[in-house]
């Protein structure tokens, strides 16, 4: 038995190290190697009562390890070498992406089993599969359904993390399974991407790769299904279907054709509802606006139109995930580029703001990089304060109402709201210009000054936390060791025998 564990450890460990080196040049977030015994104790020998989700190839267990709850993902036995390679790639991608706030953080894995077992974070108040709070229960039990405001925010978070996969690394990562099923919600309703089983990295400098067709029925882009060509637009198509599920509460495969001919395309069906403004026949009844809330109705229409663009049959007609993330941000804030809202007047940023161009260039002497965040933050905040704009980055500047009622009882966009948005966008551009270009991919979808300021702070807070964790791991090396060191030691022992 011990010999078998060592063989599995060597095989899995060598495959993992090979993938880490080839994919990440050997650089990745540190993960820990757990023993079989530790995980059996953590899950009470994989007691079925601890399972909180089941997928096609794995089960998820709630475990307790060293005084904290963890999520333990146990794959089914290896079917073939291709299956094992996908599990190893799962670890590689999860290691690479764990620092993102919308990715379930990978703590480590056990390599002593035929198929590695993965250990992730488990939020304080538990995890809820996103699929379960969108779709009606099939077992007759009542489920709490998410309100529209939460669904819209979640869609923005999902768009942001997929855009991050596409843009943050030299080799764009295509997920190929952007569906509700592979996102968990934490206690704050923040979605966490928790699966990379079919993810693939494009060759550096290339826009596509040809591979076998992978994915879930109803979410596979038509050009991918026909040619096997994997591009970023494959994820865009899947995301469009995900948006439709968030809007309707129905599974994509439940969208049957309308009309007697049975040939009406899904896009045409939805377009009919949108053009007639018949939300009652299309949108999930639990999120329909009540009492004539024009703001929410406009949001629903805008997101529906965005979803239609995402599922266009021609890939080149679909937007990019970066464009989608930005559009959802605008919709959340009430600036819907694809819904007509015509104000009676337009107020531009103040003349003094335009004339001063970018004053930060003149008042700070550093460009933000990995070494100078405290200095950069202090200088930028001082400069912004000097112009009376600090409220934009602190969140204390009062946002004017988006819509106002005029004498005839109709609503119009508030000119003061437009002025606020324009000033905020100009300030955001100033802040972005004070950064090194290497930071910009991490700010995908952040197009307000507050979003940018908070996201940069989160990035450096996470990096500080990672450094602390790294030092803790170093202190544990003599007892358990980091994954590469344990692997090297085991390899040496076996070679000697």
- Return the DSSP state at 368: B
Among 133-147, 178-192, 345-359, top mean pLDDT goes to: 178-192
CATH architecture of 1-122: 2-Layer Sandwich (3.30)
Question: Is pLDDT above 70 for 81?
Answer: yes
For residue 13, give both structure tokens.
């460990």
Q: What contacts 451, CB < 8 A, 6 or more positions away? A: 329, 428, 445
When comparing pLDDT for 402 and 178, which is higher? 178
pLDDT of residue 160: 94
Whether residue 1 is predicted with pLDDT greater than 90 in this model: the reply is: no
Q: Is the pLDDT of residue 474 over 70?
A: no
Question: Which residues partner with 184 through β-bridges?
Answer: 129, 192
pLDDT at 250 over 60: yes
> Measured on CA atoms in the order 21, 23, 26, 32, is the torsion positive or negative?
negative
More confident residue, 469 or 169: 169
- Residue 481's pLDDT is what? 45
Q: What is the mean pLDDT of the chain?
A: 77
Does 136 or 154 have the greater pLDDT score?
154
pLDDT for the residue numbered 398:
86
Distances (CA, A) of 452 to 23, 92, 386, 394, 443: 29, 28, 19, 11, 7
Quick check: 235 and 174 in contact, CB under 8 A?
Answer: yes
273 has a pLDDT exceeding 70:
no
Lowest mean pLDDT among 132-136, 467-471, 488-492: 488-492
Domain with CATH 1.10.510.10 in the chain: 126-341
CA 224 from chain centre, in angstroms, equals 22
Lowest pLDDT segment from 119-123, 360-364, 365-369: 360-364
pLDDT exceeds 60 at position 487: no
pLDDT classification of 349: cutoffs 50, 70, 90: very low
Taking residues 254-263, what's their average pLDDT? 42
Where do you find CATH 3.30.200.20 in the chain? 1-122
* Amino acid 463: pLDDT: 60
Summarize pLDDT for 30-46 with one digit per residue, the tens. Answer: 678 888 999 999 999 99
Q: What does the pLDDT average to over 458-465?
A: 68
pLDDT for 465 equals 53
pLDDT of residue 336: 52
Confidence of residue 266 (pLDDT cuts 50, 70, 90): low
Q: Tell which wins on pLDDT, 293 or 35.
A: 35
CB 196 within 8 A of CB 358: no
The model's pLDDT over 98-151, given as tens digits with 9 standing for 90+, comes to 889 999 999 988 888 888 899 999 987 778 889 988 886 666 555 677 889 999
Q: Average pLDDT of 429-453? A: 78
Segment 233-242 mean pLDDT? 95
In this prediction, residue 277 has a pLDDT band, given cuts at 50, 70 and 90, of: low
> pLDDT band at residue 289, thresholds of 50, 70 and 90?
confident
In CATH, what number does 126-341 get? 1.10.510.10
Tens digit of each residue's pLDDT (9 = 90 or more) over 377-386? 888 888 888 7
Q: Provide the phi-psi class of 110: left if phi over 0, else alpha when psi is between -120 and 50, else beta.
A: beta
Q: What is the dihedral of CA 185, 189, 190, 195, to 10 degrees?
A: 10
| Tokens representing residue 14 in the block | 């060598």
| pLDDT tens track for 299-333 | 888 898 899 899 998 999 999 999 999 999 888 87
CB 297 within 8 A of CB 306: no
3-class secondary structure, 405: strand
Look at residue 156 and tell me whether its pLDDT is greater than 90: yes
% of the chain exceeding 70 in pLDDT: 69
When mean pLDDT is compared across 198-212, 247-261, 278-292, 401-415, the lowest value belongs to 247-261
Q: Residue 75, SS3? A: strand
Q: Bigger pLDDT: 286 or 43?
A: 43
Among 272-281, 444-453, 470-479, the range scoring the smallest mean pLDDT is 470-479
> What integer pLDDT is reported at residue 251 of this predicted model?
78
pLDDT value of position 135: 82
Task: Specify the higher pLDDT residue, 478 or 119.
Answer: 119
Q: What is the model's pLDDT at position 484?
A: 45
Percent of the chain with pLDDT over 90: 29
Q: Which two tokens stand for residue 247?
A: 């809007």
More confident call, 1 vs 55: 55
* 229 touches 223 (CB < 8 A): yes
pTM here? 0.67
pLDDT at 13: 59
Q: Which pLDDT score, from 0 to 100, does residue 348 have?
A: 36
């Amino acid at each position: 038995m011990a010999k078998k564990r060592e063989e599995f450890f060597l095989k899995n460990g060598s495959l993992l190290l090979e993938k880490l080196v080839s994919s990440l040049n050997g650089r990745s977030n540190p993960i820990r190697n757990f023993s079989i015994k530790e995980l059996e104790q953590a899950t009470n020998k994989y007691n079925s009562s601890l399972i909180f989700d089941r997928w096609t190839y794995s089960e998820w267990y709630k475990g307790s390890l060293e005084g904290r709850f963890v999520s333990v993902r146990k794959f089914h036995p290896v079917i073939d070498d291709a299956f094992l390679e996908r599990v190893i790639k799962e670890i590689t991608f999860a290691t690479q992406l764990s620092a993102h706030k919308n990715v379930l953080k990978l703590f480590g894995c056990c390599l002593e089993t035929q198929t590695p077992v993965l250990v992730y974070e488990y939020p304080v108040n538990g995890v809820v599969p996103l699929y379960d709070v969108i779709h009606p229960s099939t077992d007759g039990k009542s489920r709490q359904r998410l309100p529209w405001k939460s669904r819209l925010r979640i869609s923005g978070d999902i768009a942001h993390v997929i855009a991050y996969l596409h843009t943050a690394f030299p080799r764009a990562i295509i997920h190929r399974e952007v569906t509700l099923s592979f996102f968990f919600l934490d206690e704050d309703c923040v979605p966490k991407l928790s699966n990379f089983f079919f993810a693939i990295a494009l060759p550096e400098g290339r826009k596509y790769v040809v591979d076998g067709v992978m994915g879930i029925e109803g979410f596979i882009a038509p050009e991918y299904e026909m040619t096997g060509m994997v591009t970023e637009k494959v994820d865009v198509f899947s995301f469009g279907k995900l948006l439709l599920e968030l809007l309707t509460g129905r599974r994509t495969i439940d969208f049957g054709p309308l009309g007697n001919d049975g040939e009406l395309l899904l896009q045409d069906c939805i377009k009919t509802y949108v053009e007639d403004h018949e939300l009652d026949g299309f949108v999930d009844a639990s999120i329909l606006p009540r009492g004539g809330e024009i703001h929410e109705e406009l949001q629903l229409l805008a997101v529906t139109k965005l979803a239609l663009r995402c599922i266009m049959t021609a890939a080149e007609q679909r937007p990019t995930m970066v464009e989608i993330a930005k559009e959802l941000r605008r919709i959340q804030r009430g600036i819907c580029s694809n819904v007509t809202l015509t104000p009676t007047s337009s107020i531009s940023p103040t003349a003094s703001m335009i004339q001063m161009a970018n004053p930060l260039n003149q008042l700070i002497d550093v460009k933000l990089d990995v070494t100078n965040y405290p200095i950069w933050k202090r200088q930028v905040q001082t400069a912004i304060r000097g112009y009376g704009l600090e409220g934009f980055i602190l969140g204390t500047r009062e946002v004017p109402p988006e819509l106002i009622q005029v004498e005839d009882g109709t609503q119009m966009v508030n000119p003061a709201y437009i002025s606020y948005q324009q000033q905020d966008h100009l300030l955001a551009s100033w802040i972005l210009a004070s950064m090194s270009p290497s930071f910009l991919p991490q700010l995908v979808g952040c197009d307000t000054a507050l979003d940018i300021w908070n996201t940069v702070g989160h990035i450096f807070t996470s990096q500080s936390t990672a450094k602390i964790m790294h030092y803790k791991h170093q202190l544990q090396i003599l007892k358990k060791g980091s994954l590469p060191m344990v692997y090297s030691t085991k390899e040496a022992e076996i070679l000697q025998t």
